[in-house]
Amino acid sequence: MCANAPLPIGCPVSTWARGRGWRGGCARRPNWTRRASPRTARAFCCPTIWTPPEASGCRCPAFRKRWCNMAVLLDDLPRTATRDGTLRRVGIEVECGGVTEARLAEIAAERLGGRVRQTADYVYAVEGSALGDIEVLLDTALRDVVEGRVARLGLDLGRAVIPVEFVTEPIPPAQIPEVDRFCAELARQGAFGTQDGIALGFGVHLNVALPGEAVADILPVLTAFALCEDWLRDRMQLDGSRRLLPFVDPYPARLLDMLCDPAAVQWTVDDLAEAYFKASPTRNHGLDALPILKHLFPERTVAAVPAMAEKSSRPAWHYRLPDCRIDDPDWSIGREWRRWVWVEELAADTGCVDRLKALWREYRAGPLPVARWLSLSSPVLDARRPLP
């Protein structure tokens, strides 16, 4: 195989890894290129992320580690299809710094195919790529109201802390390794993640399609996530800036009180929506259920959360908790996906969730001061399959 021959876009990394293995390797000198950025020099030094290390001759440990992470088989959701038999897809949003939206769109077209088209100031579309249509934009609410040269200059100067974001259309989970390869290429060309600054707060969002729209399709996952959220934040080692910034705040205790009330097992979707609007009327949580509720109850959702008037609705979880660590060779979207699968597996384990709900009620009924919920829930959650 030629050292510069890319792995075919449609070929899952895991398939290549199983067939080729990691033994052998090319003995000739790697075709080194100039490093894109001091930020990413520690992570990538190879000519193309699309070329497996065995083929390129690269002996860079970080590069091989990144490929190994991308080659891990993805876990399947407990329910892989919707009630009508359609495959559950996932839309992916990635925030990063170090590249402009125009350059990110160019790299996407170079690596994934498609045609770049500018649709507005600071907004581009990559149409017809291997991942479908991709939107690339400067991720700020000011983007749509900037007028005049001075305002544009101010927005451009703020790029040090304003992320550029790319958003895929809903894709089959089997295509997540292709997104990871694209992220690795962005890192090679200078993109960096949330850990590269004290106030960046860059994240990854997974928009995971619901299996259905009945209360039994929504309530168990919402409850399971609420009960394990403190544990997830601790085990995922969530970046400090994202803990402090008001974009992924923990669910309030009032919502958990409602979810763990024995009467909640009799809830309808209307009851669930009413509880969510009362206890947590904001998008800024690690798991945002408002797109689902707007899909089901458009007028009620906008009345309860006026900011949702300008936001889209969709029958999908808006999982916002993961950090974007795009230039860290230990990180991958595949891992974040497997962590979401872990949450859905917990939701399907009714015995474990019932134990956690009872423990929460005891915790809230206890005298003050009380132990942290994390210390009480950890023994139950640690006994399960380890978090990926």
C-alpha dihedral sign at 302, 303, 306, 309: positive
Q: Does 305 score more than 90 pLDDT?
A: yes
- Of 74, 5, 319, 47, the closest CA to residue 184 belongs to 47
| C-alpha to C-alpha distance for 46 and 68, rounded to whole angstroms | 15
Mean pLDDT of 198-216: 92
- Of 280, 304, 286, the closest CA to residue 294 belongs to 304
Long-range contacts of 247-251 (CB under 8 A, 24+ apart): 247/201, 247/203, 247/284, 247/320, 248/203, 248/284, 248/285, 248/286, 248/320, 248/321, 249/282, 249/284, 249/285, 249/286, 250/285, 250/286, 251/226, 251/279, 251/280, 251/285, 251/286, 251/287
Would you place residue 162 in the very low, low, confident or very high pLDDT band (cuts 50, 70, 90)? confident
Which is higher by pLDDT, 59 or 293?
293
Is the CB of residue 359 less than 8 Å from the CB of residue 352? Answer: no
Q: At what angle do helices 176-188 and 333-348 cross, to 10 degrees?
A: 140
- Tell me what pLDDT residue 336 has: 98
| C-alpha to C-alpha distance for 377 and 233, rounded to whole angstroms | 13
- Tell me what pLDDT residue 200 has: 77
Instruction: Give all strands of the β-sheet with 316-319 in edge-to-edge order.
Output: 115-120, 123-129, 132-138, 164-168, 90-96, 204-209, 316-319, 287-288
Mean pLDDT of 199-212: 93
Query: Where does the chain show beta strands of DSSP type E?
Result: 90-96, 115-120, 123-129, 132-138, 164-168, 204-209, 287-288, 316-319
- Tell me what pLDDT residue 62 has: 55
Mean pLDDT of 331-340: 97
- Tell me what pLDDT residue 368 has: 66
Looking from the CA of 177 toward its CB, the CA atoms found within 13 Å total 23
Query: Average per-residue pLDDT in the chain?
Result: 82
Q: What percent of the chain has pLDDT over 70?
A: 74
- Of 328, 339, 60, the closest CA to residue 194 belongs to 328
Please give the DSSP secondary-structure letter assigned to residue 194.
G
- Tell me what pLDDT residue 204 has: 97
| C-alpha to C-alpha distance for 87 and 16, rounded to whole angstroms | 24
Please give the DSSP secondary-structure letter assigned to residue 334.
H
| C-alpha to C-alpha distance for 278 and 345, rounded to whole angstroms | 28
- Tell me what pLDDT residue 13 has: 34
Q: Does 240 score more than 80 pLDDT?
A: yes
| C-alpha to C-alpha distance for 121 and 359, rounded to whole angstroms | 51
Q: What is the DSSP string of 228-275?
A: HHHHHHHHHT--HHHHHSTTSBPPPHHHHHHHHSGGGGG--HHHHHHH
β-sheet bridge partners, residue 145: none
Its pTM stands at: 0.81
- Tell me what pLDDT residue 4 has: 38
Residue 151 zone, left/alpha/beta (φ > 0; ψ -120 to 50; rest): alpha
Count the helix, strand and coil residues of the chain and give each as a percent rounded to the nearest 5.
45, 15, 40
Give Cα 91 distance to the centre of its chain.
9
